[in-house]
């Protein structure tokens, strides 16, 4: 299926450049652009894109607040990919909590941006190495864990032993194909397990499963 994409950035040149990059792929359709968060929410409700490529720092309504509104009200089935230069600060975790499916830096190569859109559309979480390190720092520090507003879901107790295995592997960044190879199961079975874990934990996508895996202590740095 061809992903329909909305490009959101407050800088006209970046909006145009990203739109032009995506237009080079016949398997992607750019359905519109928005210059701020409010317009992004409105355009998402109207155009119902599959993927929103979202800037973080914008006037009127920032990318984090816009992501929350989009996934709560405008179109919950949309996946949000954050396009940012701020991969190491507090925005990263806040955006994941809001439901973003991943991050890609504005300095990424054109083909990386295209692949990122396809990956997010296919249901994968997309975290760059820089973003992953920031996420680990956030959740392995006791002070951060103690002050975290997100509690480990009680539904974690409902996971089967196999589903906990799956959650650990998702937390380590494994794709469905890699999970299948490691557990000697088919990719379709791996995908089914991941979807069941997401349903039980009420996670929007794999990125939120990564948060749960670290926050619950199932995954630790260097494991």
CATH number at 207 reads 1.10.10.10
Based on the domain organization, do 110 and 12 belong to the same domain? yes
Q: Residue 76 falls within a domain, yes or no?
A: yes
Q: Cβ distance 112 to 104 under 8 Å? A: yes
Q: Cβ distance 29 to 5 under 8 Å? A: yes
Boundary (domain end) residue, out of 135, 159, 179: 135
Q: Residue 45 falls within a domain, yes or no?
A: yes
Could you tell me the two tokens for 102?
């991943």
Q: Residue 68 falls within a domain, yes or no?
A: yes
Could you tell me the two tokens for 128?
């760059």
129-134, Cβ contacts within 8 angstroms, sequence gap of 24 or more? 130/87, 130/88, 130/105, 131/87, 131/88, 131/92, 131/102, 131/103, 132/173, 133/88, 134/87, 134/88, 134/89, 134/92, 134/93
Q: What's the 3-state SS for 116-184? A: HHHHHHCCCCECCHHHHHHHHHHHHCHHHHHHCCCCCCHHHHHCCHHHHHHHHHHHCCCCHHHHHHHHC
* Model pLDDT, residue 75: 72
Based on the domain organization, do 89 and 44 belong to the same domain? yes
Number of domains in the chain: 2
pLDDT tens readout for residues 200-210: 888 877 777 88
Boundary (domain end) residue, out of 111, 135, 159: 135
Report d(CA 70, CA 66) in Å as an integer: 6
* Model pLDDT, residue 147: 41
Based on the domain organization, do 119 and 189 belong to the same domain? no
Q: Cβ distance 205 to 101 under 8 Å? A: yes
Based on the domain organization, do 163 and 202 belong to the same domain? yes
* Model pLDDT, residue 31: 96
Based on the domain organization, do 181 and 109 belong to the same domain? no
Q: Residue 13 falls within a domain, yes or no?
A: yes
Q: Residue 194 falls within a domain, yes or no?
A: yes
pTM greater than 0.85:
no
Residues of the chain with pLDDT under 70: 74, 86-90, 125-153, 155, 220-223
Report d(CA 122, CA 212) in Å as an integer: 21
CATH number at 27 reads 3.40.50.2300
Based on the domain organization, do 157 and 118 belong to the same domain? no
Boundary (domain end) residue, out of 88, 105, 135: 135
What are the C-alpha distances in Å from 57 to residues 17, 31, 37, 208? 18, 22, 9, 22
Q: Could you tell me the residue range of the domain that residue 30 belongs to?
A: 4-135
Based on the domain organization, do 32 and 113 belong to the same domain? yes
């Amino acid at each position: 299926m061809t992903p329909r994409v909305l490009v959101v950035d407050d800088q006209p040149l970046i909006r145009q450049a990203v739109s032009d990059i995506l237009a080079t792929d016949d398997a992607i359709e750019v359905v519109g652009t928005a210059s701020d968060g409010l317009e992004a929410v409105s355009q998402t409700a109207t155009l119902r894109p599959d993927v929103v490529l979202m800037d973080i720092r914008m006037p009127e309504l920032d990318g984090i607040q816009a992501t929350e509104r989009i996934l709560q009200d405008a179109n919950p089935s949309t996946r949000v990919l954050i396009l940012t230069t701020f991969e190491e600060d507090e925005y990263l975790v806040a955006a994941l909590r809001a439901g973003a499916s991943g991050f890609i830096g504005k300095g990424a190569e054109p083909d990386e941006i295209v692949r990122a859109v396809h990956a997010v559309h296919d249901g994968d979480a997309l975290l760059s190495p820089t973003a992953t390190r920031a996420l680990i720092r956030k959740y392995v520090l006791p002070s951060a864990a103690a002050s975290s507003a997100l509690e480990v879901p009680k539904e974690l107790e409902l996971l089967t032993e196999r589903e906990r295995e799956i959650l650990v592997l998702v937390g380590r960044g494994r794709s469905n194909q890699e999970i299948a190879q490691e557990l000697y199961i088919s990719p379709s079975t791996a995908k089914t397990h991941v979807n069941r874990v997401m349903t039980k934990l009420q996670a929007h996508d794999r990125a939120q499963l990564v948060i749960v895996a670290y926050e619950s202590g199932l995954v630790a740095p260097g494991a």
